[in-house]
């Protein structure tokens, strides 16, 4: 079952802007919206971005999402130490009739 492709790691210093990429295919990202989740081990994953670029209530505007073709990206500006976590992209796949996740990107704040 093919998933979405993310870099395994990303890093930045406090105050910096980092971006995390997510690559898929015409059957998932190319045809449906992308969502982003933040996950700390042992806790419930949290929805950060839905419908490619929408933030749920309570998510700071430091987090933004975009999509172009079969790729998407998550940008985090004004990096904080508390942003250290695993970040996952996900999208509906028309051929699977279900979701595919990226492999996750571990963000380190140096």
Partner 1 sequence: QVTLKESGPVLVKPTETLTLTCTVSGFSLSNVRMGVSWIRQPPGKALEWLANIFSNERKSYSTSLKTRLTISRDTSKSQVVLSLTKTDHVDTGTYYCARIREDHIDRYFDYWGQGTLVTVSS
The torsion angles phi and psi of 83, rounded to 5 degrees, stand at: -80, -5
Q: SS3 for 81?
A: helix
The minimum distance between CB 61 and partner 1, in angstroms, equals: 19
CB of 59 to partner 1, least distance (A): 12
Q: Considering the complex, state which of residue 80 and residue 96 has its C-beta at the smaller distance from partner 1.
A: 96
- Residue 47, token pair as written in the block: 């929805």
Dig out the tokens for 103 from the structure: 């492999």
Would you say 15 or 56 has its CB closer to partner 1?
Answer: 56
Q: How far is the CB of 53 from partner 1 (least distance, A)?
A: 11
């Amino acid at each position: 079952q093919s998933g979405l492709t993310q870099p395994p790691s990303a890093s930045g210093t406090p105050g910096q802007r980092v971006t995390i990429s997510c690559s898929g295919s015409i059957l998932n990202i190319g045809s449906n919206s992308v969502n982003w989740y933040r996950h700390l081990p042992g806790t419930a994953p949290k929805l950060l971005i839905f419908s490619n670029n929408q933030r749920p209530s309570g998510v700071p505007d430091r987090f933004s999402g975009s999509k172009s073709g079969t790729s998407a990206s998550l940008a985090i500006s004004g990096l904080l130490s508390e942003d250290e976590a695993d970040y996952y992209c996900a999208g509906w796949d028309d051929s699977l009739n279900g979701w595919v996740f990226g492999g996750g990107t571990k963000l380190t704040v140096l």
